[in-house]
């Protein structure tokens, strides 16, 4: 499903974020990416939906060479990818339901189908009863659940999460991680950058150190 072949990523003037990364991730896998702050975890994830482009090497996602895609092709790449990043970018003047519903409408889902999917996603993460609440009225854990609902409402085959349990207390972190495990159990490929791989039992672990892949477990 995903193949990194000698991938590198550099930023001006001379900052190496990733160097010589080669790894394959099969469809349906659960994979965690660990490493110190600045190790390259977020950069690695952001390459997959082409938010960032590699400086060198080849990255294939479902057979597509991501580095060579035109901007017009990016929506087709991302239609099967769900993104949960640290900056949730929730719409704080809109209800929880609208936060999930609006992206579906923008991507062309008919209103009735979009609403059905949005409500199903909120139900999946345990927020259906808070559908009318504004994000500001939600706890940190609930806001993260809302971000997950928004990411999975279009039913992606691949779910990317960048430190999805950061800044949460231990119990809430376990609850949020459990949501990702549930999606993995129904066949979704899950990649999570995390400081605590123990939250994702059974995952294959990739460890980065200063932009280099140091090991797999």
What does the pLDDT look like over 145-194, one tens digit per residue? 999 999 999 999 999 999 999 989 999 999 999 999 999 999 999 999 99
> Which residue has tokens 């975890």?
41
Kindly indicate the confidence band of residue 44, based on its pLDDT and cuts at 50, 70 and 90: very high
Average pLDDT over residues 13-18: 94
pLDDT at residue 216 tops 80: no
Kindly indicate the confidence band of residue 217, based on its pLDDT and cuts at 50, 70 and 90: low
DSSP 42: H
pLDDT at residue 30 tops 70: yes
β-sheet bridge partners, residue 31: 191, 204
For residue 34, which of 197, 167, 212 has the smallest C-alpha distance? 197
The string of pLDDT tens digits covering residues 104-156 is: 988 889 999 999 999 999 999 999 999 999 999 999 999 999 999 999 999 99
For residue 176, which of 191, 186, 166 has the smallest C-alpha distance? 166
What is the overall mean pLDDT for the chain?
A: 94
Three-state DSSP state, 39: coil
CATH topology of domain 1-80+159-217: Rossmann fold (3.40.50)
Per-domain residue ranges of the chain = 1-80+159-217, 87-155
Average pLDDT over residues 53-70: 93
pLDDT over 90, % of the chain: 85
pLDDT at residue 103 tops 90: no
Kindly indicate the confidence band of residue 50, based on its pLDDT and cuts at 50, 70 and 90: very high
Query: Could you tell me the CA-to-CA distances from 197 to 160, 202, 207 in Å, in that order?
Result: 15, 10, 10
């Amino acid at each position: 499903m995903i193949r990194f072949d000698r991938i590198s990523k550099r930023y001006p003037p001379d900052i190496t974020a990733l160097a010589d990364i080669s790894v394959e991730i099969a469809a349906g896998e659960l994979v965690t990416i660990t490493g110190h702050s600045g190790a390259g975890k977020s950069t690695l994830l952001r390459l997959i939906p082409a938010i960032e482009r590699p400086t060198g090497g080849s990255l294939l996602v479902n057979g597509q060479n991501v580095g060579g895609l035109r901007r017009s092709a990016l929506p087709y790449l991302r239609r099967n990818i769900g993104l949960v990043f640290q900056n949730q970018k929730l719409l704080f003047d809109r209800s929880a339901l609208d936060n999930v519903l609006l992206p579906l409408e923008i991507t062309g889902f008919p209103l009735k189908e979009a609403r059905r999917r949005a409500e199903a996603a909120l139900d999946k993460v345990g927020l259906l009863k808070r559908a009318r609440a504004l994000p500001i009225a939600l706890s940190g854990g609930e806001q993260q659940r809302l971000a997950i609902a928004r990411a999975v409402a279009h039913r992606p085959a691949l779910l990317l999460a960048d430190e999805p349990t950061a800044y949460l207390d231990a119990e809430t972190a376990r609850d949020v991680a459990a949501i990702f495990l549930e999606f993995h159990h129904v066949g979704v490929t899950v990649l999570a950058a995390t400081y605590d791989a123990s939250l994702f039992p059974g995952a294959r672990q990739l460890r980065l150190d200063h932009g280099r892949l140091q090991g797999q477990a």
